[in-house]
Amino acid sequence: MRRINLSMCFALTLLLCATNTRAQQGKNFTPVEGADLAARMEAAVRQGRTSSPQSRFWTAYSFDVRPGVLVDFEYISEDGSRSYITGVNDSATGVSIDSQSVRAETRNLGVFLLRSRESGDISRIEVYNLERKHEYGGYPVYWLGRAGNEESINLLRGLAESARSGEIGADATKAIALHDDRRVGDVLESLARTSTVEGVRIQAVSWLGRTPNTTPARQSFLLDLARSERESQEIRRRAVAAFGQTRDAATLAALQNLYSSLFQQDLKRAVLSSVSRNESREATSFLIKVAASDQDPEMRKKALAHLGQRAGEQSATTIAGTIEQTDAETEIQKQAVVALSRRPREEAVPLLLKIARTHAKPEVRRQALLMLARTGDERALELYREILLK
């Protein structure tokens, strides 16, 4: 029988699911007509309040979705097993499912507003993948068709700006970020600067680093947020992550300066994570410096963890040197063993075997044995035989 490769199976599965699901959803939705989104929304609310058999109902529409995101995604593997990704994920670098990196995107999404039949007020905002079948909580859906970018963004921006609930405002902001429109960055920055709702600002700042038209002025704004003692730790952490999405030399230098000025561990960890996404030699050198000499053991462990995921002789030498130091802290050496285990197998296994047999500290030897067990390498099995059959 001719084998079909995974990518072909995956594409066929999505195509079949999309065809079947559209037909099923068309039967479940009540279409609403009108000249524009506002008119259709008004008619849908009126119809839902007078005709809905339930206490609540949905008003919903589709929109132009930005590329490179996975939302409410179902993955069917070759053996027929199903995996689900809930929420919103950046698919540009792949999403890990069952030890595989799945690169896909969901471009057929809908904004769903759950409303009270009594008042028509919105109690929840969801973005659902229209390629999947949903029950929608058993509530009826009044379908408004496809909205233009401007009318959709304006609607959601109004909800984000007026929301008293942080959750509704945050969800409206996230939905704005999913639109394929160059104005999205300006809207998000405005919300990040002016909103008084923490959830709205958190979402706006988080997505600012992923907008396609990031400018030097916007980068400066994010860096100011990261530095500001007046901001919450969460806003500052999100600002660091957003700022670090730009991976040029100037951004890397700014992150290094920011790291030296911070005292809070969670913010310094965020800086190290951002630096680790930069694949340059300078970024590696900075991580090595932190791993070798930072006064905070937690930061040294974090830097070692990032080095374990980077290729290159510099990283390997630093990790091995930390393990071999006779005066190094045990916990840091154990973290170095974990980092070593993330190196290519042919490099890592011989060193882990040596550590498990000869290291002076029993805690470090045990850590090496634990990491060897996770490699599945036959050489590790031989060592276990030696130990257990003595």
- Strand 56-62 to 122-129 pairing: unpaired
Query: Using CB atoms within 10 A of its CB, is residue 138 exposed (0-12), middle (13-18) or buried (19+)?
Result: exposed
- How many CB atoms are closer than 10 A to CB 148? 13
- How many CB atoms are closer than 10 A to CB 84? 10
pLDDT tens string 19-48:
344 434 555 799 999 999 999 999 999 999
Q: Model confidence at 78, in pLDDT bands (50, 70, 90)?
A: low
- Residue 285 half-sphere exposure toward CB, CA atoms < 13 A: 6
CB 47 within 8 A of CB 32: yes
Q: Model confidence at 351, in pLDDT bands (50, 70, 90)?
A: confident
Q: Model confidence at 192, in pLDDT bands (50, 70, 90)?
A: very high
Q: Cα separation of 219 and 211, whole Å?
A: 11
| DSSP assignments along 289-335, one per residue | HHHHH-S-HHHHHHHHHHHTTS-SHHHHHHHHHHHH-TTS-HHHHHH
Q: Which residue has the higher pLDDT, 351 or 202?
A: 202
Specify the pLDDT at position 17.
42
Specify the pLDDT at position 2.
35
pLDDT tens string 111-129:
999 999 999 999 999 999 9
pLDDT tens string 274-314:
999 998 889 988 998 998 889 999 999 898 888 877 766 66
What percent of the chain is predicted at pLDDT more than 70? 83
pLDDT tens string 53-63:
999 999 999 99
pTM to 2 decimals?
A: 0.77
For residue 88, give the nearest of 198, 223, 210, 185 by alpha carbon. 210
What six digits make up the tokens of 185? 């960055």
Specify the pLDDT at position 388.
63
For residue 58, give the nearest of 124, 153, 147, 155 by alpha carbon. 124
Average pLDDT, the chain: 84
pLDDT tens string 320-350:
788 888 777 889 889 888 888 888 888 888 8
For residue 70, give the nearest of 60, 83, 57 by alpha carbon. 83
Query: Using CB atoms within 10 A of its CB, is residue 361 exposed (0-12), middle (13-18) or buried (19+)?
Result: middle
Q: Residue 256 contacts by C-beta under 8 Å, 6 or more apart in sequence?
A: 275, 286
Specify the pLDDT at position 83.
67
Q: Which residue has the higher pLDDT, 303 or 100?
A: 303
- Say if residue 85's pLDDT is above 80: no
Q: Cα separation of 233 and 63, whole Å?
A: 33
Question: Considering Cα of 9, then 3, then 101, then 184, what sign does the dihedral take?
Answer: negative
What DSSP state is assigned to residue 55?
A: S
